[in-house]
Chain A
Amino acid sequence: MQKSFNIWLLTSLVISIGVLIPIATVFFSFFEETSNYYEILKDTFLVEYIVNSFVLLISVLSLTFLIGTASAYFVSFYKFPFCDFFKWALILSFAVPPYIYAYSLTAFFENYGTLFSILTNLFGEANYNKNIPKFDGVIGSILSLSFSLYAYVYILARASFLYQSQNLIDLGRNLGFSKFKSFYFLILPAARPAIVAGLSLVAMETLAEFGAVDFFSINTLTTGIYNSWITFDDLAFSNRLSFFLLIFIFALFIIENFSRKNAKYHLNNRGGFKQKQKTQLSGKKAFFVFIFCFSILFLSFIFPLSQMFYWTIKFPENLYDLKILTLTLNTVYLVILSSLVLIVFSLVSNYGNRVSKNKMLNLLSTLSISGYAIPGVILAVAFITFIGWFDDNIVKAFGFSSIKKIFIGSVLGLVLVYFVRFYSLAFNGIKSGYEKINISVDESSYLLGYSKKKTFLNIHVPFLRNSLLFVGILVSLEIVRELPITLILRPFNFETFATTAYISASEDLLEAAAVPSLFLILIATIFIMLTSKYILRENEQ
């Protein structure tokens, strides 16, 4: 038998290149001609876009660092009332996307809003409006983003704290360190790579955020990209702005990857590891820690959930007006279709990488998983740009009819861009499952007469069953929350909970946005509760 051609290599190569196309489009579009809008903007808002993005970034990073690290420290090192509950409840904030948090914040603090009603009910009628703080604009965006995103820092910091050996704590005591000194000089530096990795994810999400900043009318690079395309119909300029943002994001992406690699060295599960003993807190200390964790849970999850719930009850007509069944079916349709496509292709691609050991494929895979770092707005615009170019230069050149309608404003296009956006999530999730299978297991299988296909189907797929389920739910959670891609690429009259909430909010009908938001939070909460078991178990292994 002659040396055979590797079909797995080809398949993985095609998937990786496919994912890379929109990313490459942004870079190539940078050199295209733009309209006068660029000149106007350069002299007016461009600096504001950059400054606002930067202010948001620094503020959100600071706040998420404080909230995420402190809460992770308390649940990892201390026993206090309900600490096992907080351990997983603190990740529920993932169920509330920043834009829904922004709606809640506004609804609660606005003139004659929920707080006004509460105060009126408690203390009688008065002009409370002038004394109620207004959390809108930049402050509102910072709070919405921070309470929605701190869980990235919490999860990674907690994982790192969890693996810290009792030896480290004992060493601090042996050196006569106070608890604070131990934390500052020993525990925190050891967890630094994990915290940096978490903060990098927060940074990428902050720069990519569209819904909340658009709602608060904050001009950032992301809203600039959206507006230059929607309002000024200037795709080329939209891509040029994307290019600036991408450079920023890729720097963060590199930091995140670098930190993640270092983080591995801090997960000491080799010899000498001593299981950490949690300190039992009592009295004031226990009360303070409980209040801190409860406040975080309340502000990040209970508050927006209650606000949306309150409005749903207060304005029940919105519930009847909403085509809940249609929205649910649309959401479920997108979730199932996209998750299946993502899982199947990521699985095949992972296996292709595993069996082909090809350096070029490895490089392409690394590049293609950078999709998660790219804001949905950019991906959607890049996708439209690419389809437009392909249609004009290739399809029409060969005399075929336009393919734009097949891809733009269709479920197919939507699923394809979701694929690019969430490919890394699926790919890495499956990869971490694959890393638990020693390569000699595959080789044993070949030596027992199994073909590559049979090894894949009989050995890998059954073993990866839990990883696939976990990835499926995680991807579903992201798709349910996703806004800009769905908004830009959805078919006419095809709405999801996210787009319905956004449209109502942008029409200043916040009450109407409450019902779809509430449904979105509830669905996302179910997904989180299903996956939290895996997330926490994985961390504890």
Chain B
Amino acid sequence: MSNNFLDVKNVNFRIGGKTKVKDVSFSIQNEGDIVCLLGPSGIGKTTILRTIAGLENIEKGSIDLKGKTLSSKNIHIEPEYRNISLAFQENSLFPHYSVEKNILIGAEKNKEKKDKKISFKEIVKLLDIEKILNKFPHQISAGEAQRASLARSLISKPDLLLLDEPLSNVDQSFKEEIQVRLKKILNKLKISTIIVTHDSYEAFYLGSKCGIILNQKLKQFDDPYKVYHFPNSIEVVNFLNRGILIPATIIDENTLENDDLGLIKGNFIQHFSIGSKVQLLLQPEDLEHDDSSNFKLDVVDRKFRGTNFIYTLKTHNNNLIPVLVHTHHHEQHEINDKFGVKKPITLEHIVCFK
């Protein structure tokens, strides 16, 4: 028996008789850890949460919480006996009760539990829902309903909290603040949480581990830093939209060569035999801007991203390479300008795929 807080072992996640995600295994090691699951819409992220909550059955594998099997082929503990809370993406507040009453119903659960103590006032203030307490669910906005639902889930002191796109309807201006508050409260209460989102930045901020679900598989489950910098497959690269793949040949254990960029040095994350043809992941922050360099490429596009510009450069072989430059760099370039790239090219990490 493992000592993990939550163990999901080889589970096929199904809904309506249709398998959405196959053979999934991951775990939450310690109580209070936060895991984020990322993936495109309709891939089955919500199905995973529903199944862990006990709203769907499984036919293969097992789900164990605190060493106790909740779901397997022959075992299914009903949702009401799991002490797992799920905050739905859509408005799931009880329609005939006020927001306040809805949250208080959550407080009824586990009220004798001494740990994970949080007061009604505290949680209401934290999620900024004081003004809507007397309103009914149909009288509030989608974002407010999401926060009220989150409050109800948090106050019920669950062993495991499942959040389905918890901030998808919250205004962008308020979202970051709520993210900070949410992380703070989850850490304070030590509530283990699985968050489903399609916002990679939200996942990287909130999660101590991130899972990427693509093509019916959990493709990668790792620290956010590693997921971001060392994606383990071309599919993950494409999903995160973090750069481009260019052809290259392995020269030695620290070097590879591309027809357009020449020799590129760095530390390989995965080793390949010398002479292998690979696809090199080139991320926007990999190449350095240097107008004094003799190596120049044509600017074909420039995206303004607030603190940065992302220039798209065209190589001789018509590959398009993104390069990130701070907004306040000295010589800004227009489309069709020549853009200098620092040589020799040295990368912190080299991520390649066969």
Residues of A within 8 A of B (CB): 1-4, 436-438, 440-441, 443-451, 459, 462-463
For the complex, give the distance between the alpha carbons of A441 and B87 in Å: 10
B249 on interface, CB distance cutoff 8 Å: no
Complex Cα gap A1–B80 (Å): 12
User: Which of these, B86, B93, B108, contacts A447 with CB under 8 Å?
Assistant: B86
A355 → chain B closest CB, angstroms = 11
19 contacts across the A-B interface (CB closer than 8 A): A2-B76, A437-B95, A441-B94, A443-B79, A443-B92, A444-B94, A445-B94, A446-B54, A446-B55, A446-B78, A446-B79, A446-B80, A447-B53, A447-B84, A447-B86, A448-B152, A449-B81, A459-B94, A463-B94
For chain B, what secondary structure do more than half of its interface residues adopt (helix, strand, loop), or is it mixed? Answer: loop
| Least Cβ–Cβ distance between B321 and chain A, in angstroms | 40
User: How many whole Å from B120's CB to the nearest CB in chain A?
Assistant: 15
Q: Report the minimal beta-carbon distance from B193 to chain A, rounded to whole angstroms.
A: 14
B-side interface residues toward A, CB under 8 Å?
50, 53-55, 57, 74-86, 88, 90-96, 105-106, 108-109, 149, 152, 156
Q: Which residues of A contact B91 (CB under 8 A)?
A: 438, 440
Q: Is the CB of A440 within 8 A of B95?
A: no
Judging by beta carbons under 8 Å apart, are A449 and B94 in contact?
no
B residues near A4, Cβ cutoff 8 Å? 78
In the complex, chain A residues whose CB is within 8 Å of the CB of B83 = 449
Contacts of A437 in B (CB 8 A): 95
Contact A448 B90 (CB under 8 A): no
* Docked-complex contact A448 and B96, CB < 8 angstroms: no
- A80–B283 CA distance with the chains assembled, in angstroms: 70
Q: Apart from A440-B92, A449-B83, what 18 extra A-B contacts exist at CB < 8 Å?
A: A1-B76, A1-B77, A2-B76, A3-B75, A437-B95, A438-B91, A440-B88, A440-B90, A441-B92, A441-B94, A443-B50, A444-B94, A447-B53, A447-B86, A448-B80, A448-B85, A448-B106, A459-B94
Bound Cα distance from A463 to B138, whole angstroms: 13
Supposing A1-B75, A443-B55 touch, asked if A449 and B88 sit within 8 A by C-beta, the answer is no
10 tightest A-B CB contacts, nearest first: A440-B92, A446-B79, A440-B88, A463-B96, A444-B92, A446-B80, A449-B109, A3-B76, A449-B80, A448-B109
The chain B residue sitting closest to A444, CB to CB, is B92
* Docked complex Cα distance between A1 and B57 (Å): 13
Q: How far is the CA of A503 from the CA of B84 in the complex (A)?
A: 65
Cα–Cα, bound, A459→B93 (Å): 11
A462 vs B75: C-alpha distance when bound (angstroms):
33
Q: Do A443 and B95 touch across chains, with their CB atoms under 8 A apart? A: no
Taking a contact as CB atoms under 8 Å apart, the answer to whether B80 and A451 are in contact is: yes
Contacts of A446 in B (CB 8 A): 54-55, 78-80
Closest to A459 in B: B94
Q: B57, B81, B82, B88: which contacts A444 (Cβ < 8 A)?
A: B88
CB distance from B116 to the nearest CB of A (A): 16
Please pick, from A2, A444, A447, A449, the residue contacting B74 in the complex, using a CB distance under 8 A.
Answer: A2
Residue of A nearest to B17 (CB): A359
From B80, B86, B95, A463 is in contact (CB under 8 Å) with B95
B residues in contact with A450, CB < 8 Å? 80
Taken together as a complex, chains A and B put the C-alpha atoms of A31 and B129 apart, in Å, by: 68
Q: What's the Cα separation between A436 and B136 when bound, in Å?
A: 14
In the complex formed, the residue of A with least CB distance to B105 is A448
In this complex, what residue of A is CB-closest to B107?
A448
Name the contact of B96 in the complex, choosing from A1, A2, A447, A462 (C-beta under 8 A): A462
The residue of chain B having its C-beta at the shortest distance from the C-beta of A466 within the complex is B96
Point out the residues of chain A lying under 8 angstroms from B92, CB to CB. 438, 440-441, 443-444
